[in-house]
Amino acid sequence: MKMLRQWCLSIEKSEDVSMELLVEVEGLVEASIDAMSTKIDLSLSRPNRIYRPSEPLEGKIVVKSASSISHYGIRMALNGSVNLQVRGGSAGVIESFYGVVKPITILSRTLEIRPSGKIVSGTTEIPFSITLRNPKEDNSERFYETFHGTNISIQYLATVDVMRGYLHKSLSATVEFIVETDLLNPPISPEMVIFYITQDTQRHPILPELKSGGFRITGRISTQCSMLEPLSGELTVEASVLPICSIDIHLLRVESVLLGEKIITETSLIQTTQIADGDVCRNMTLPIYVVLPRLLTCPTVLAGPFSIEFKVAIVIIFQSELSRLHPKSDPLTPRLWMAMETLPLELVRARPYASWTVES
Protein backbone atom coordinates (compact mmCIF):
# COMPACT_ATOMS: atom_id res chain seq x y z
CA MET A 1 0.00 0.00 0.00
CA LYS A 2 2.87 2.37 0.87
CA MET A 3 4.62 1.57 -2.41
CA LEU A 4 1.44 2.35 -4.37
CA ARG A 5 1.19 5.79 -2.77
CA GLN A 6 4.88 6.53 -3.48
CA TRP A 7 4.42 5.46 -7.10
CA CYS A 8 1.42 7.79 -7.41
CA LEU A 9 3.43 10.72 -5.97
CA SER A 10 6.26 10.09 -8.44
CA ILE A 11 3.78 10.24 -11.33
CA GLU A 12 2.40 13.57 -10.03
CA LYS A 13 5.91 15.09 -10.15
CA SER A 14 6.42 13.99 -13.73
CA GLU A 15 5.76 16.69 -16.36
CA ASP A 16 5.00 14.22 -19.18
CA VAL A 17 1.82 12.83 -17.61
CA SER A 18 -1.60 14.20 -18.63
CA MET A 19 -4.16 15.21 -16.01
CA GLU A 20 -6.66 12.57 -17.28
CA LEU A 21 -4.13 9.77 -16.82
CA LEU A 22 -3.19 11.08 -13.38
CA VAL A 23 -6.85 11.04 -12.25
CA GLU A 24 -7.30 7.50 -13.57
CA VAL A 25 -4.13 6.25 -11.85
CA GLU A 26 -5.20 7.85 -8.55
CA GLY A 27 -8.59 6.19 -8.91
CA LEU A 28 -6.99 2.81 -9.48
CA VAL A 29 -4.78 3.24 -6.42
CA GLU A 30 -7.74 4.20 -4.24
CA ALA A 31 -9.73 1.24 -5.54
CA SER A 32 -6.84 -1.12 -4.73
CA ILE A 33 -6.53 0.30 -1.22
CA ASP A 34 -10.31 0.00 -0.82
CA ALA A 35 -10.31 -3.64 -1.89
CA MET A 36 -7.49 -4.53 0.49
CA SER A 37 -9.07 -2.79 3.48
CA THR A 38 -12.65 -4.05 2.97
CA LYS A 39 -13.79 -7.61 3.66
CA ILE A 40 -17.20 -9.21 3.18
CA ASP A 41 -18.52 -12.42 4.68
CA LEU A 42 -21.77 -14.36 4.35
CA SER A 43 -22.94 -15.95 7.60
CA LEU A 44 -25.99 -18.26 7.70
CA SER A 45 -28.27 -18.50 10.74
CA ARG A 46 -27.73 -22.26 11.21
CA PRO A 47 -24.27 -23.66 11.96
CA ASN A 48 -25.03 -26.88 10.05
CA ARG A 49 -26.30 -24.83 7.03
CA ILE A 50 -29.20 -27.30 6.50
CA TYR A 51 -32.49 -25.90 5.15
CA ARG A 52 -35.67 -27.34 3.64
CA PRO A 53 -37.33 -25.90 0.51
CA SER A 54 -40.31 -24.71 2.57
CA GLU A 55 -38.06 -22.77 4.97
CA PRO A 56 -36.48 -19.33 4.52
CA LEU A 57 -32.72 -19.02 4.09
CA GLU A 58 -31.68 -16.60 6.83
CA GLY A 59 -28.43 -15.03 7.88
CA LYS A 60 -26.45 -11.82 7.71
CA ILE A 61 -23.98 -10.09 5.44
CA VAL A 62 -20.97 -8.87 7.41
CA VAL A 63 -18.91 -6.04 5.90
CA LYS A 64 -15.69 -4.91 7.59
CA SER A 65 -14.22 -1.72 6.19
CA ALA A 66 -11.59 0.77 7.37
CA SER A 67 -13.52 3.63 5.75
CA SER A 68 -17.03 4.26 4.48
CA ILE A 69 -17.76 2.96 0.97
CA SER A 70 -20.43 3.82 -1.57
CA HIS A 71 -22.30 1.14 -3.49
CA TYR A 72 -24.95 0.77 -6.19
CA GLY A 73 -26.96 -1.92 -4.45
CA ILE A 74 -26.46 -5.16 -2.54
CA ARG A 75 -27.80 -8.26 -4.30
CA MET A 76 -28.22 -11.86 -3.23
CA ALA A 77 -28.21 -14.72 -5.76
CA LEU A 78 -29.38 -18.25 -4.94
CA ASN A 79 -28.29 -20.96 -7.36
CA GLY A 80 -28.86 -24.70 -7.27
CA SER A 81 -27.86 -27.13 -9.98
CA VAL A 82 -27.22 -30.78 -10.80
CA ASN A 83 -23.73 -31.06 -12.30
CA LEU A 84 -23.19 -34.17 -14.42
CA GLN A 85 -19.98 -35.54 -15.86
CA VAL A 86 -18.67 -38.81 -17.23
CA ARG A 87 -15.10 -39.80 -16.53
CA GLY A 88 -13.04 -41.53 -19.21
CA GLY A 89 -12.83 -44.78 -17.26
CA SER A 90 -16.60 -45.26 -17.20
CA ALA A 91 -17.30 -44.38 -20.84
CA GLY A 92 -16.05 -45.30 -24.27
CA VAL A 93 -13.70 -43.29 -26.45
CA ILE A 94 -16.51 -41.39 -28.19
CA GLU A 95 -18.38 -40.62 -24.96
CA SER A 96 -15.22 -39.27 -23.30
CA PHE A 97 -15.22 -36.35 -25.77
CA TYR A 98 -18.62 -35.30 -24.42
CA GLY A 99 -17.81 -36.02 -20.79
CA VAL A 100 -19.39 -32.87 -19.35
CA VAL A 101 -23.17 -32.78 -19.61
CA LYS A 102 -25.11 -29.51 -19.43
CA PRO A 103 -26.01 -28.77 -15.78
CA ILE A 104 -29.65 -29.03 -14.72
CA THR A 105 -30.85 -25.83 -13.02
CA ILE A 106 -32.87 -26.37 -9.86
CA LEU A 107 -32.87 -22.89 -8.37
CA SER A 108 -31.96 -19.49 -9.83
CA ARG A 109 -33.08 -16.38 -7.99
CA THR A 110 -31.65 -12.90 -7.57
CA LEU A 111 -32.99 -10.40 -5.04
CA GLU A 112 -31.99 -6.91 -3.99
CA ILE A 113 -31.13 -6.77 -0.31
CA ARG A 114 -30.43 -3.03 -0.18
CA PRO A 115 -30.67 -0.20 -2.74
CA SER A 116 -27.70 2.03 -3.55
CA GLY A 117 -26.21 3.88 -0.63
CA LYS A 118 -23.26 3.90 1.75
CA ILE A 119 -21.72 1.45 4.17
CA VAL A 120 -20.10 3.17 7.15
CA SER A 121 -16.64 2.30 8.43
CA GLY A 122 -16.23 -0.48 10.93
CA THR A 123 -18.32 -3.66 11.01
CA THR A 124 -21.76 -3.58 9.39
CA GLU A 125 -24.21 -6.49 9.66
CA ILE A 126 -27.05 -6.68 7.14
CA PRO A 127 -29.70 -9.36 7.91
CA PHE A 128 -31.55 -11.18 5.14
CA SER A 129 -34.32 -13.76 4.83
CA ILE A 130 -35.18 -15.39 1.48
CA THR A 131 -37.63 -18.20 0.81
CA LEU A 132 -36.15 -20.96 -1.32
CA ARG A 133 -39.38 -21.78 -3.16
CA ASN A 134 -40.71 -18.95 -5.29
CA PRO A 135 -44.16 -18.14 -3.84
CA LYS A 136 -45.35 -16.84 -7.25
CA GLU A 137 -44.80 -20.21 -8.90
CA ASP A 138 -46.95 -23.32 -8.61
CA ASN A 139 -44.41 -24.99 -6.28
CA SER A 140 -44.03 -27.87 -8.71
CA GLU A 141 -40.26 -27.37 -9.00
CA ARG A 142 -38.23 -30.30 -7.75
CA PHE A 143 -35.63 -29.71 -5.07
CA TYR A 144 -33.10 -32.54 -5.01
CA GLU A 145 -31.06 -32.97 -1.85
CA THR A 146 -27.44 -31.85 -1.66
CA PHE A 147 -25.17 -34.65 -2.84
CA HIS A 148 -21.47 -34.92 -3.71
CA GLY A 149 -20.73 -38.00 -5.76
CA THR A 150 -18.22 -39.11 -8.36
CA ASN A 151 -20.11 -38.18 -11.53
CA ILE A 152 -23.11 -36.35 -10.06
CA SER A 153 -22.98 -33.33 -7.78
CA ILE A 154 -26.05 -31.49 -6.47
CA GLN A 155 -25.03 -28.15 -4.98
CA TYR A 156 -26.75 -25.01 -3.69
CA LEU A 157 -24.87 -21.70 -3.41
CA ALA A 158 -25.73 -18.30 -1.96
CA THR A 159 -23.73 -15.38 -3.37
CA VAL A 160 -23.83 -11.76 -2.21
CA ASP A 161 -22.51 -8.91 -4.38
CA VAL A 162 -21.94 -5.33 -3.26
CA MET A 163 -21.99 -3.44 -6.56
CA ARG A 164 -19.36 -0.69 -6.79
CA GLY A 165 -18.87 2.01 -9.38
CA TYR A 166 -16.30 2.45 -12.13
CA LEU A 167 -12.72 1.58 -11.10
CA HIS A 168 -14.01 -0.22 -8.02
CA LYS A 169 -14.18 -4.00 -7.92
CA SER A 170 -17.45 -5.40 -6.60
CA LEU A 171 -17.29 -7.08 -3.20
CA SER A 172 -18.47 -10.68 -3.30
CA ALA A 173 -18.82 -13.71 -1.00
CA THR A 174 -20.23 -17.20 -1.63
CA VAL A 175 -21.30 -19.95 0.77
CA GLU A 176 -22.76 -23.39 0.15
CA PHE A 177 -25.95 -24.31 1.98
CA ILE A 178 -27.36 -27.82 2.28
CA VAL A 179 -30.87 -28.67 1.16
CA GLU A 180 -32.84 -31.54 2.70
CA THR A 181 -36.29 -32.38 1.37
CA ASP A 182 -39.38 -32.41 3.58
CA LEU A 183 -40.12 -35.55 5.57
CA LEU A 184 -42.44 -38.08 4.02
CA ASN A 185 -45.76 -38.64 5.72
CA PRO A 186 -46.61 -41.21 6.98
CA PRO A 187 -43.25 -42.53 8.24
CA ILE A 188 -41.82 -45.78 6.90
CA SER A 189 -40.72 -48.87 8.75
CA PRO A 190 -37.40 -50.43 7.68
CA GLU A 191 -37.73 -53.26 5.17
CA MET A 192 -35.56 -56.17 6.30
CA VAL A 193 -34.33 -58.77 3.82
CA ILE A 194 -33.00 -62.17 4.85
CA PHE A 195 -29.74 -63.17 3.15
CA TYR A 196 -27.44 -66.16 3.20
CA ILE A 197 -23.92 -66.47 1.84
CA THR A 198 -22.52 -69.88 0.89
CA GLN A 199 -20.03 -71.30 -1.61
CA ASP A 200 -22.95 -71.90 -4.00
CA THR A 201 -24.13 -68.27 -4.05
CA GLN A 202 -20.79 -66.88 -5.25
CA ARG A 203 -20.57 -65.78 -8.87
CA HIS A 204 -16.77 -65.48 -8.87
CA PRO A 205 -14.08 -68.16 -8.42
CA ILE A 206 -13.19 -68.93 -4.80
CA LEU A 207 -10.43 -70.95 -3.10
CA PRO A 208 -10.65 -74.74 -3.67
CA GLU A 209 -10.81 -75.41 0.06
CA LEU A 210 -13.76 -73.03 0.37
CA LYS A 211 -15.47 -74.66 -2.57
CA SER A 212 -15.08 -78.17 -1.19
CA GLY A 213 -15.33 -77.54 2.57
CA GLY A 214 -18.01 -74.88 2.37
CA PHE A 215 -19.23 -72.04 4.58
CA ARG A 216 -22.60 -70.55 5.54
CA ILE A 217 -23.32 -67.02 6.77
CA THR A 218 -26.90 -65.90 7.32
CA GLY A 219 -28.56 -62.72 8.51
CA ARG A 220 -30.92 -59.89 7.71
CA ILE A 221 -30.38 -56.26 6.75
CA SER A 222 -32.44 -53.18 5.84
CA THR A 223 -33.00 -52.56 2.14
CA GLN A 224 -35.24 -49.52 2.68
CA CYS A 225 -33.89 -47.14 5.27
CA SER A 226 -34.70 -43.68 6.60
CA MET A 227 -31.78 -41.28 6.32
CA LEU A 228 -32.43 -40.24 9.91
CA GLU A 229 -31.61 -43.75 11.11
CA PRO A 230 -28.51 -45.97 10.75
CA LEU A 231 -28.52 -48.94 8.41
CA SER A 232 -29.15 -51.89 10.71
CA GLY A 233 -29.35 -55.67 10.69
CA GLU A 234 -27.61 -58.76 12.04
CA LEU A 235 -25.31 -61.52 10.83
CA THR A 236 -24.45 -65.04 12.01
CA VAL A 237 -21.56 -67.26 10.93
CA GLU A 238 -23.05 -70.75 11.08
CA ALA A 239 -20.13 -72.67 9.58
CA SER A 240 -16.81 -72.07 7.79
CA VAL A 241 -14.02 -74.44 6.80
CA LEU A 242 -11.48 -71.58 6.98
CA PRO A 243 -11.05 -69.05 9.80
CA ILE A 244 -12.48 -65.62 9.07
CA CYS A 245 -10.16 -62.64 8.74
CA SER A 246 -12.72 -59.82 8.55
CA ILE A 247 -16.40 -59.07 7.94
CA ASP A 248 -17.10 -55.70 6.31
CA ILE A 249 -20.19 -53.78 5.22
CA HIS A 250 -19.59 -51.72 2.07
CA LEU A 251 -21.92 -48.81 1.28
CA LEU A 252 -21.96 -48.25 -2.49
CA ARG A 253 -23.40 -45.54 -4.72
CA VAL A 254 -24.59 -46.24 -8.26
CA GLU A 255 -24.59 -43.10 -10.42
CA SER A 256 -26.18 -43.18 -13.88
CA VAL A 257 -25.97 -40.34 -16.41
CA LEU A 258 -27.84 -40.15 -19.73
CA LEU A 259 -25.25 -39.25 -22.38
CA GLY A 260 -26.87 -38.95 -25.79
CA GLU A 261 -28.74 -42.22 -26.28
CA LYS A 262 -26.54 -44.14 -23.87
CA ILE A 263 -26.76 -44.48 -20.10
CA ILE A 264 -23.35 -44.45 -18.37
CA THR A 265 -23.40 -46.16 -14.97
CA GLU A 266 -20.60 -46.23 -12.42
CA THR A 267 -20.51 -47.91 -9.02
CA SER A 268 -18.14 -46.54 -6.38
CA LEU A 269 -17.41 -47.10 -2.70
CA ILE A 270 -18.71 -44.57 -0.18
CA GLN A 271 -17.50 -46.10 3.08
CA THR A 272 -16.57 -49.38 4.74
CA THR A 273 -17.73 -50.42 8.21
CA GLN A 274 -15.99 -53.40 9.81
CA ILE A 275 -18.27 -55.46 12.06
CA ALA A 276 -15.77 -58.26 12.84
CA ASP A 277 -11.96 -58.38 12.99
CA GLY A 278 -10.55 -61.88 13.07
CA ASP A 279 -12.34 -65.19 13.40
CA VAL A 280 -15.73 -65.13 15.15
CA CYS A 281 -17.61 -67.65 17.23
CA ARG A 282 -19.96 -69.83 15.26
CA ASN A 283 -23.72 -69.27 15.69
CA MET A 284 -23.17 -65.97 17.50
CA THR A 285 -25.29 -63.04 16.27
CA LEU A 286 -23.29 -59.96 15.24
CA PRO A 287 -25.12 -56.61 15.01
CA ILE A 288 -24.91 -54.50 11.84
CA TYR A 289 -24.94 -50.76 12.52
CA VAL A 290 -23.86 -48.35 9.78
CA VAL A 291 -24.17 -44.55 10.14
CA LEU A 292 -24.96 -42.90 6.79
CA PRO A 293 -22.58 -40.05 5.83
CA ARG A 294 -24.65 -36.92 5.13
CA LEU A 295 -23.08 -35.26 2.06
CA LEU A 296 -22.16 -38.54 0.38
CA THR A 297 -25.70 -39.95 0.51
CA CYS A 298 -29.15 -38.62 -0.35
CA PRO A 299 -32.61 -40.06 -0.93
CA THR A 300 -32.67 -42.40 -3.91
CA VAL A 301 -33.28 -40.34 -7.07
CA LEU A 302 -34.70 -41.72 -10.32
CA ALA A 303 -34.86 -38.75 -12.69
CA GLY A 304 -34.82 -38.68 -16.49
CA PRO A 305 -31.28 -37.43 -17.23
CA PHE A 306 -29.69 -39.05 -14.18
CA SER A 307 -30.25 -41.38 -11.25
CA ILE A 308 -28.62 -41.89 -7.85
CA GLU A 309 -29.05 -45.31 -6.27
CA PHE A 310 -27.34 -47.21 -3.50
CA LYS A 311 -26.30 -50.75 -2.64
CA VAL A 312 -24.99 -52.52 0.44
CA ALA A 313 -22.44 -55.31 0.16
CA ILE A 314 -21.66 -57.85 2.90
CA VAL A 315 -18.06 -59.00 2.38
CA ILE A 316 -16.43 -61.96 4.16
CA ILE A 317 -12.64 -62.22 3.96
CA PHE A 318 -11.17 -65.62 4.87
CA GLN A 319 -7.72 -66.22 6.30
CA SER A 320 -5.35 -67.64 3.67
CA GLU A 321 -1.87 -67.13 2.26
CA LEU A 322 -3.29 -65.11 -0.64
CA SER A 323 -5.20 -62.74 1.63
CA ARG A 324 -2.01 -62.07 3.62
CA LEU A 325 -0.13 -61.32 0.38
CA HIS A 326 -2.81 -58.86 -0.81
CA PRO A 327 -3.99 -57.00 2.31
CA LYS A 328 -4.88 -53.79 0.41
CA SER A 329 -6.69 -55.14 -2.63
CA ASP A 330 -9.64 -53.31 -4.22
CA PRO A 331 -12.68 -54.00 -1.99
CA LEU A 332 -15.05 -53.91 -4.98
CA THR A 333 -13.18 -56.59 -6.94
CA PRO A 334 -14.11 -60.18 -5.98
CA ARG A 335 -11.10 -62.28 -4.92
CA LEU A 336 -10.50 -65.97 -4.38
CA TRP A 337 -10.41 -65.50 -0.58
CA MET A 338 -13.61 -63.41 -0.46
CA ALA A 339 -17.33 -64.15 -0.32
CA MET A 340 -19.89 -61.41 -0.82
CA GLU A 341 -23.56 -60.61 -1.17
CA THR A 342 -24.76 -57.31 -2.68
CA LEU A 343 -28.28 -55.99 -2.12
CA PRO A 344 -30.09 -52.87 -3.39
CA LEU A 345 -30.66 -50.15 -0.81
CA GLU A 346 -33.38 -47.51 -1.04
CA LEU A 347 -32.80 -44.38 1.04
CA VAL A 348 -35.72 -42.08 1.88
CA ARG A 349 -36.13 -38.87 3.86
CA ALA A 350 -38.74 -39.95 6.38
CA ARG A 351 -39.27 -40.03 10.09
CA PRO A 352 -38.40 -43.41 11.63
CA TYR A 353 -41.49 -45.53 12.23
CA ALA A 354 -40.54 -46.27 15.85
CA SER A 355 -40.37 -42.61 16.87
CA TRP A 356 -43.66 -41.90 15.07
CA THR A 357 -45.49 -44.65 16.96
CA VAL A 358 -44.18 -43.33 20.29
CA GLU A 359 -45.38 -39.78 19.51
CA SER A 360 -48.76 -40.92 18.26
Residues 23 and 44 sit within 8 Å (Cβ to Cβ): no
Contacts of 84 (CB under 8 A, 6+ apart): 100, 101, 102, 103, 104, 151, 152, 257, 305, 306
Question: How far is it, in rounded angstroms, from Cα 167 to Cα 188?
Answer: 58
| CATH topology for the 39-179 domain | Immunoglobulin-like (2.60.40)
Domains 39-179 and 191-348 in one fold: yes
CA 75/CA 139 separation, integer angstroms:
24
Instruction: State residue 154's pLDDT score.
Output: 95
Which residues are CB-neighbours of 119 under 8 A, at least 6 positions away? 63, 65, 68, 69, 71, 162
The predicted model scores a pTM of 0.81
Q: Are 116 and 164 in contact (CB under 8 A)?
A: no
Backbone dihedral region for residue 340 (phi beyond 0: left; psi -120 to 50: alpha; all else: beta): beta
Domain spans in the chain, listed from the N-terminal domain onward:
39-179, 191-348
CATH architecture of 191-348: Sandwich (2.60)
Mean pLDDT (10-residue bins), the chain, 360 residues:
50 52 46 64 94 92 90 93 77 51 89 91 92 65 88 95 80 94 73 93 93 95 91 95 95 92 91 94 95 92 93 94 77 88 93 52
pLDDT of residue 186: 66
pLDDT of residue 42: 93
CA 354/CA 359 separation, integer angstroms: 9
